[in-house]
């Protein structure tokens, strides 16, 4: 490998994220428990979230709007203003969550800084991701921060051009095969998958990856063994 840049996903790669969504979903199901079963609410909320990605993108704000829309639909527009207020409060609680770094993250960044240009390549709400990065205390490790509306081939190529490197000089490290790994492999870069114990259904893929530029590790610390 002739790497110049190592890019890291943020949510569930550098710090905890998805468990907060799952916890909020459980509270949402309790709020609407008198109108539909948990299974129906899960199905309807996921459907709404995916449909709304085009309008709201990824992140907590779009998630809150999707919860309200789902609540309106399953209650035939009889939802009370009190419940709407409770849903909004759930969103604010998510936005105020502390940042919990995942094990080994800062050790890895310390070891790699100075040897490679380190980059954050994430997606989601701009304001929220900037807030989390600031609260994480990790900003000083990174040469560049890229917050994408979608992690696809085109946006990774745009990042590569911005960094003035060749695709084969980029390695992407992340927990999502769909968003962090496959697009980077498609454009000629390297991908390292660091699985997280919870993955949003929309980010899951069924097939395995066979590519010489792909590695899967147990912990983010494992990447130091082959760099």
What is the tens place of the pLDDT at every residue in 140-178? Answer: 999 999 999 899 999 999 999 999 999 999 999 999 998
Mean pLDDT of the chain: 93
Confidence of residue 127 (pLDDT cuts 50, 70, 90): confident
Instruction: Compute the average pLDDT of residues 88-102.
Output: 95
**Which of 61, 65, 23, 21 shows the shortest CA–CA distance to 200?**
21
Task: Report the range of poorest mean pLDDT among 56-60, 88-92, 207-211.
Answer: 207-211
Confidence of residue 200 (pLDDT cuts 50, 70, 90): low
pLDDT at 125: 86
Residue with tokens 């968003």: 179
pLDDT at 90: 97
Confidence of residue 210 (pLDDT cuts 50, 70, 90): confident
Task: Report the range of poorest mean pLDDT among 44-48, 124-128, 130-134, 212-216.
Answer: 124-128
| 78: Cβ contacts below 8 Å, ≥ 6 apart | none
pLDDT at 201: 62
Three-state secondary structure of 43-57:
HHHHHHHHHHHHHHC
pLDDT at 204: 64
Instruction: Compute the average pLDDT of residues 103-130.
Output: 94
pLDDT at 114: 95
Instruction: Compute the average pLDDT of residues 29-35.
Output: 94
CB of 165 within 8 A of CB of 116? Answer: no
| 14: Cβ contacts below 8 Å, ≥ 6 apart | 8, 101, 102, 105, 120, 136, 138
pLDDT at 209: 81
Topology of 5-15+100-225 in CATH?
Rossmann fold (3.40.50)
Phi, psi (deg, nearest 5) at residue 36: -160, 160
The domain 18-95: what is its CATH number?
1.10.150.240
Domain ranges of the chain: 5-15+100-225, 18-95
For the cut 90, the answer to whether the pLDDT of residue 211 exceeds it is no
Confidence of residue 206 (pLDDT cuts 50, 70, 90): low
For the cut 70, the answer to whether the pLDDT of residue 124 exceeds it is yes
Task: Report the range of poorest mean pLDDT among 77-86, 114-123, 124-133, 162-171.
Answer: 124-133
State the alpha helices, DSSP H only, in the chain.
18-31, 38-56, 60-74, 81-95, 105-112, 126-136, 153-163, 182-186
pTM (whole model) above 0.75: yes
Tell me the Cα Rg of the chain.
19
Instruction: Compute the average pLDDT of residues 115-127.
Output: 93
């Amino acid at each position: 490998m002739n790497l110049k840049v190592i890019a890291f996903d943020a949510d569930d790669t550098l710090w905890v994220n998805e468990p907060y969504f799952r916890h909020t979903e459980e509270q949402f199901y309790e709020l609407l428990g008198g109108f539909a079963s948990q299974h129906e609410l899960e199905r309807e909320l996921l459907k709404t979230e995916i449909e709304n990605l085009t309008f709201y993108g990824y992140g907590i704000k779009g998630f809150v709007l999707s919860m309200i829309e789902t609540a309106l639909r399953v209650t035939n527009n009889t939802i009370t203003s009190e419940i709407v207020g409770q849903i909004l409060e759930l969103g604010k609680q998510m936005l105020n969550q502390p940042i919990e770094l995942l094990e080994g993250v800062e050790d890895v960044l310390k070891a790699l800084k100075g040897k490679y240009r380190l980059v954050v390549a994430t997606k989601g709400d701009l304001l929220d991701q900037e807030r989390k990065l600031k609260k994480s205390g990790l900003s000083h490790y990174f040469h560049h921060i890229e917050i994408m509306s979608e992690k696809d081939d085109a946006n990774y190529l745009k990042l590569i051009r911005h960094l003035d490197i060749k695709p084969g000089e980029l390695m992407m490290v992340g927990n999502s095969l769909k968003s962090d790994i496959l697009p980077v492999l498609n454009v000629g870069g390297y991908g390292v998958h660091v699985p997280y114990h919870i993955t949003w259904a929309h980010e899951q893929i069924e097939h395995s990856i066979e590519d010489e530029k792909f590695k899967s590790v147990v912990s983010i610390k494992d990447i130091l063994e082959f760099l």
